[in-house]
Amino acid sequence: MAGSGGTTPHADATQRGLTSHCYRMLGSITEAVDVATGVNSYEEATRVCLQRAGRRPLPSDLTGPSADPGGVLSESSEILWLEPIPTHLMDDHPIDLGLIAALQRLSPAERAATVLHLEGRAGAVPPAPITPTPPLAPDVALLARYRAAFEQYDVPTIVTLFTDDAIWEMPPFTSWFRGARDIGRLISTHCPAERPGDQYLVPLQANGHPAFAVYMRDPKDNIHRAFQIQVLTLTATAIVHAVAFFDLSLFQTFHLPDLLTGLPPNPYDGTLRPHVERLPHSRG
């Protein structure tokens, strides 16, 4: 078993490059790994990806923001959603989540030309007009306040950490929300947490962004179970975009356990931070 301080496996440079290339084309880390493990060159990877390429959106690509964060949330499990990529599978070329979402709006051929250009592999085909926007260096203090606010289930503080026009979306829910106030109402209404200690956040990186794996306490057995992976986009002083991915298979992709063990009933009772063990992933 691996503890929270264990070493995450890193793919070699060639594998990271092929995986990242396929991810830019497909918007799915699951599909990208599948393709990259079966090819030997970028030319072959591009050809396979062109055959597979569909469109993987975020909720904000499909409809306008919901006006009722306290209402029923619309959900679609039939849509193939955009997925994040963990740091250990990333290469050194642009891979920002906003860029990947923009690439998904292009035709497969335009996408291939743009990806090859971004990676410095472009030939005579001009790229589609997409300019990568590298994420800001993370504000460590802001992220610490964010983590503490969620773990203490302090919704008023959570609201202050978002910009007034911030976006919160959470595939597979098609409902998404704009504005710090609506984000706060959404969390107050729909988050299953009830008190401090119900949520535990493990810091990550995804797509070059700060991210958190969120574990939620199951009141039946008092165990914190995998709940969602949040990927954040920051301005210099606040959070402008949060995507909460509810696909629990991503926890395995990020080398995260399904359950946290060693947590006291309430992590805010003064005990030390827990040792976190990796438990076997259940197979459906």
pLDDT at residue number 132: 72
Residue 282 has pLDDT above 80, yes or no: no
Q: Looking up tokens 């599978």, which residue turns up?
A: 89
**Domains along the chain?**
13-118 (no CATH), 140-260 (3.10.450.50)
Q: Give whole-number Cα distances, 200 to 76, 150, 195, 196, 223, in Å.
A: 27, 8, 12, 9, 11
Instruction: Name the pairing type of β-strands 259-260 and 199-206.
Output: unpaired
Helix (H/G/I), strand (E/B), else coil: 176: strand
- Our CA angle for 228, 234, 236, nearest 5°, is 155
Return the bridge partners of 244, or none: 230
Residue 220 has pLDDT above 80, yes or no: yes
Reported pTM:
0.87
pLDDT at residue number 260: 87
